[in-house]
């Protein structure tokens, strides 16, 4: 990204020219007889010829950044099969990155650029589909889904049958129904069931594509932190499931590709900045913050942008970089190609990019202050870098 690492020292940005999650999906689609999505192919040859295998499985282990894999599983089977590090997308968070996997399009095109985002005059959460602001909103989840989801699903456009194995609590959500498209949706009940179901599917003689989404590690690291002993034990369980799956894959001409959507950093309790504690700064916002605690989009009142950016740099510059939204858009951080019609508006006039260790929040009247032990969505290397893990018989 031009000039960004020098403007934001120590930051990491996506490599959409051949080293990102987006490029992996471009290569995987072409290898499996799907559409050319119009993006650069993966620079490395890690997936070259993968379509020759009878089965191809894509496992997305939510939150397993490259740094987490190295620290939590240095001797794991997953680490042994790591081919290289890729970058996520911007921002490196589930809403943006998983949607890129499911559609093959960058955040710039699919428009889901944070856990919370601006939709018309509401601040909504695009995956669980609830309205954060205003608290009196009567918008129903399916109506939000119909307004939000625009990029066509990818998996049902491959040249072989596709199935999505999803946790039972999201398998039938509006988000899952839309992004699976015509692919089969299968609900699993816990980690062991997930791996058992996928292994059983590999016994079929018919070529197929299988997508397995594993959110368990992400949930735990948000609660307990990315270096918790419990995270290490959970990764051991995931690794054992993957090792068993690789044995079934070897018997059935199946290739396994495991990736993550983002990495993680710790969130020290003493380094949460409450933007709403500064009445002057917060008063310039036309509506509450959207985005993430590591990357907050500021939707400002008319005529306030220049003053807000100047004042924020003075008052909270120790905790975050204050970037004009237009600067990030011009740098192409959300990805290449035609932009979603609401991208500029959702990005806001100013973006607060949290410095290492910091998080930014506001708390509405119906909310409790957000407290997490582990976070992501910022531009530190541990948030942006993800492993590419490949097993081929």
What 3 state SS string does 341-371 have? Answer: CCHHHHHCCEEEEECCCCEEECCCCCCCCCC
Predicted pLDDT at 125: 95
HSE of 90 in the Cβ direction (CA atoms, 13 Å)? Answer: 26
Residue 70 lies in a domain: yes
Are the C-beta atoms of residues 296 and 275 closer than 8 Å to each other? yes
Predicted pLDDT at 2: 65
Q: How many CB atoms are located within 10 Å of the residue 283 CB?
A: 11
Q: Record the tokens describing residue 151, joined without a space.
A: 């990029």
Residue 242 lies in a domain: yes
Residue 134 lies in a domain: no
Residue 17 lies in a domain: yes
Mark the ranges of the chain whose per-residue pLDDT is less than 50: none
Q: Which of 74, 317, 55 is nearest to 202 (CA)?
A: 55
Report the C-alpha gap between 86 and 108 in whole angstroms.
Answer: 19
Predicted pLDDT at 1: 60
Residue 54 lies in a domain: yes
Number of domains in the chain: 1
Report the C-alpha gap between 364 and 353 in whole angstroms.
Answer: 21
Predicted pLDDT at 337: 85
Residue 98 lies in a domain: yes
Predicted pLDDT at 247: 98
Range of the domain at 208: 4-107+150-266+380-391
| CATH number where 47 lies | 3.40.720.10
Q: Sheet containing 208-214: which strands, arranged edge to edge?
A: 82-87, 385-391, 254-259, 55-61, 208-214, 162-167, 184-188
Predicted pLDDT at 130: 92
Partners of 55 in the β-ladder? 208, 254
Residue 240 lies in a domain: yes
């Amino acid at each position: 990204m031009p000039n960004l690492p020098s403007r934001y020292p120590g930051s990491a940005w996506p490599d959409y020219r051949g080293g990102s999650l987006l490029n992996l999906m471009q290569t995987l689609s072409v290898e499996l007889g799907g559409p050319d999505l119009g993006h650069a192919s993966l620079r490395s040859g890690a997936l070259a010829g993968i379509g020759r295998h009878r089965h191809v499985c894509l496992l997305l282990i939510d939150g397993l950044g490259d740094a987490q894999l190295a620290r939590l599983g240095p001797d794991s089977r997953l680490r042994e099969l790591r081919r290289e590090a890729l970058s996520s997308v911007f921002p490196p968070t589930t809403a943006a990155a998983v949607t890129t996997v499911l559609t093959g399009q960058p955040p710039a095109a699919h428009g889901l650029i944070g856990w919370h985002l601006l939709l018309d005059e509401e601040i909504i959460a695009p995956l669980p589909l609830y309205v954060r602001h205003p608290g009196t909103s009567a918008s129903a989840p399916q109506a939000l889904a119909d307004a939000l989801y625009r990029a066509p699903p990818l998996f049902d456009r491959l040249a072989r049958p596709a199935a999505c194995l999803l946790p039972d609590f999201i398998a039938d959500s509006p988000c899952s129904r839309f992004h699976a498209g015509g692919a089969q949706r299968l609900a699993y009940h816990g980690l062991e069931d997930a791996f058992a179901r996928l292994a059983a599917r590999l016994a079929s003689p018919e070529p197929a594509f299988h997508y397995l989404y594993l959110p368990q590690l992400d949930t735990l690291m948000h609660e307990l932190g990315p270096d918790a002993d419990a995270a290490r034990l959970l990764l051991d369980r995931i690794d054992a499931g993957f090792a068993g799956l690789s044995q079934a894959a070897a018997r059935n001409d199946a290739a396994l590709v495991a990736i993550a959507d983002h990495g993680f950093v710790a969130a020290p309790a003493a380094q949460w900045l409450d933007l709403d504690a500064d009445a002057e700064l917060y008063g310039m916002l036309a509506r509450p913050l959207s985005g993430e605690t590591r990357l907050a989009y500021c939707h400002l009142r008319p005529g306030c942008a220049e003053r807000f950016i100047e004042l924020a740099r003075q008052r909270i510059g120790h905790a975050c970089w204050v970037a004009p939204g237009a600067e990030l858009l011009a740098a192409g951080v959300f990805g290449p190609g035609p932009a979603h019609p609401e991208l500029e508006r959702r990005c806001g006039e100013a973006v607060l990019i949290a410095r290492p260790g910091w998080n930014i929040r506001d708390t509405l009247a119906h909310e409790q202050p957000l407290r997490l032990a582990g976070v992501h969505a910022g531009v530190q290397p541990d948030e942006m870098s993800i492993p590419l893990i490949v097993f081929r018989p």
